[in-house]
Amino acid sequence: MEPRHRYVFVGGLHRSGTSLTARLLARHPSISGIEGAPVPENEGVYLQGAIPHTARHGIPCHFATDPAQHLIEGCVHDRLETRIRLEADWAPWFEPDAPWRVEKSPVNLTRMRLYQQLFPLSQFVVVLRHPQAVAAAMAKWTGRPVHELVAHWIEAHDRLLSDLPHLHAVMVMRYEDLAADPAGCAARLHAFLDLPASGAVMEEDIRDGNLDYASAAKPMEAEMARAVSRWGYSDALRADPSYRGELRHPLRRVAEAAGAA
């Protein structure tokens, strides 16, 4: 018998707002999230043994551009045994009767096509954040220059662009929009999952963390500026409010409702 639950996988580069997005989703009464797990940020990738995740996997500012960690349909893990093991390992961390389960791990950014094969009814949420904010946040972790980290951000999201046409149900959203209008973003997420809106999500206290990095936002080179403009970003941590993100869903009714939310 097929499980009655469905998965919504949240992914994105480290420090992009994936944890915030997962918590926001999990406040909906129809969505169960991982809580209290003895792993970083309640990330499901640490709670499973189906797909290797060693200390050399998922490294910030590396995994998203590593070809070996780009898992797609037909790869060695595209097997029924992988799905069975994932279900078994994750099951204890979710409410058994919840229609939806949200699993958040940054590496989901490079696993969406595989997870679509393993869980055909799954849906995906990718979270972006201004590359200069991500770079400033990660520079102190990695010791790499901000310019290099912005270049990594661009390459990672170019790869995302190549994956999007293969996905049936995916929403790309930005941290900046979530910080500016959490209620609106929550409504859009719920519509994307074909769920009624829930006011419970507004218990989350959200502030714009980009303000912490305003002094680090230097002018980008012209080529970099053109690349990030694809996502509605520009210099000085600016995010174009008219950018609506990418949205795909096989049901026109759901796609239109999410787009209008």
Tell me if 41 sits within 8 A of 80, measured CB to CB.
Answer: no
Tokens of 123: 């849906």
Name the residue among 209, 194, 190 with its Cα closest to residue 27: 190
pLDDT computed for residue 2 by the predictor: 58
Q: Retrieve residue 38's tokens.
A: 């003895």
- Phi-psi region at 123: left, alpha or beta (left = phi > 0; alpha = psi -120 to 50): beta
φ, ψ dihedrals at 102, nearest 5°: -100, 125
Q: Which amino acid is at 27?
A: R
E strands, 105-175, are 123-128, 170-174
Q: What is the pLDDT of residue 37?
A: 98
Q: Taking the CB of residue 247, how many other CB atoms lie within 10 A of it?
A: 18
- Placement of tokens 């409410």 in the chain: 95
CA distance 234 to 216: 14
CA pair distance 171, 89, nearest whole angstrom? 26
Sequential pLDDT tens for the chain (261 residues): 556 899 999 999 999 999 999 999 999 999 999 999 999 999 999 999 999 999 889 888 899 999 999 999 999 999 999 999 999 999 999 999 999 999 999 999 999 999 999 999 999 999 999 999 999 999 888 888 889 999 999 999 999 999 999 999 999 999 999 999 999 999 999 999 999 988 765 556 788 999 999 887 788 999 999 999 999 999 999 999 999 889 999 999 999 999 998
Sketch out the chain's domains with CATH numbers: 6-260 (3.40.50.300)
CB 227 within 8 A of CB 160: no
**Which residue from 162, 106, 105 is spatially nearest to 134, judged by alpha carbons?**
106
